[in-house]
Amino acid sequence: MTLLAALAGAVTISFSAIFFALSEVSPITGAFYRGAYAVPVLALLWLLRRKQDDRPISMRWVALGAGLSLGADVVAWHTSIDYIGTGLATLLANTQVVFVALGAWVLLGERPRKSTLTAIPVILGGVALVSGLGQGGAFGEDPLRGTFLALVAALFYAVFLLGFRHSNQRRVPPAGPLLEATIGAVVASLAIGVFAGGIDFGFDWQSHRWLLALALGAQVGGWLMIAYALPRLPAVETATIVLLQPAMTLAWGALIFDERPSTIQWVGVAVVLSGVAFVATIQARRTMTAAI
């Protein structure tokens, strides 16, 4: 049951980039509505189980702060999609496992193993290949800029994950921490919108049905299933689930939008997937060992 929940969550989240691209709205608009449509549903789910949420107020503020980083992550990721496509942007955003490992070392004193440190330059080499190395045949409107923005998204995503993990150490019903993080993401997207512009508050049903699917499918359904399942899975299965999302998004991007990376970019995809799988497995084993 736990594995099925994780698989269902990963499949659902793998459509996030697809739903955003189909909505044809600006990156900030997509980020805002992803959270705004999800908040009422998460609030209702939390109210139904609020008595089981015994976290102190400090942890709730941490979840809210983590959500600010999530909002910045989504805006950067959506923008990278415009430049490098849904599949490659999602793959690169999932290099967050590298930043999580380094962040846990700097902030929490959890020194990475030598094998993890060795894998990091390999992953970065794969990232360089995904960028197309400036070659004219590389897929994407501006693959170098798209790669940079996707890495920025990965950095913000790592900050979010570190904060979100800390805010839910007691493993309370996931709707509570996810609600607070989503509120933080909405606040961040609004703030970015004020300074950078780009939030469209007009209503176009064709766009908003995809935004509803993004919010209710990925932000609510997918994340709740993932948040429930991952802490309960063995390390190898955890790493597999981590990779399933970008791998499936690559497939959806090819099928729906006819995204066709160049040969050198596909080599980079293979290198990044392998490196991320390796680091994710090591990190998952370490987390589970510490919890025993």
- Rg, the chain, Cα only: 18
What is the tens place of the pLDDT at every residue in 2-22? Answer: 778 778 888 899 999 999 999
Output the pLDDT for position 242. Answer: 67
Give the mean pLDDT of 239-264: 87
Give the mean pLDDT of 166-175: 73
Say if CB 132 and CB 142 are below 8 A apart: no
Output the pLDDT for position 236. Answer: 57
If we measure between CA atoms, which residue out of 287, 264, 232, 292 comes closest to residue 97?
287
Residue 194 structure tokens: 């004020």
Output the pLDDT for position 91. Answer: 92
Give the mean pLDDT of 214-234: 81
pLDDT band at 108 (very low <50, low <70, confident <90, very high): low
Give the mean pLDDT of 275-285: 74
Output the pLDDT for position 286. Answer: 55
> Does position 292 have pLDDT exceeding 70, yes or no?
no
Output the pLDDT for position 291. Answer: 34
Q: Where is pLDDT greater, at 287 or 63? A: 63
Give the mean pLDDT of 149-170: 85
CA 267, chain centre distance (Å): 23
How far apart are the C-alpha atoms of 8 and 10, rounded to whole Å? Answer: 6
3-state secondary structure string, the chain? Answer: CHHHHHHHHHHHHCCHHHHHHHHCCCHHHHHHHHHHCHHHHHHHHHHHCHHHCCCCHHHHHHHHHHHHHHHHHHHHHHHHHHHHCHHHHHHHHCCHHHHHHHHHHHHHCCCCCHHHHHHHHHHHHHHHHHCHHHCCCCCCCCHHHHHHHHHHHHHHHHHHHHHHHHHCCCCCCCHHHHHHHHHHHHHHHHHHHHHHCCCCCCCCHHHHHHHHHHHHHHHHHHHHHHHHHHHHCCHHHHHHHHHHHHHHHHHHHHHHHCCCCCHHHHHHHHHHHHHHHHHHHHHHHHHHHHHC
The pTM score is: 0.89
Give the mean pLDDT of 156-162: 87
Output the pLDDT for position 153. Answer: 95
Output the pLDDT for position 285. Answer: 60
44-58, 168-182, 203-217, range with greatest mean pLDDT: 203-217
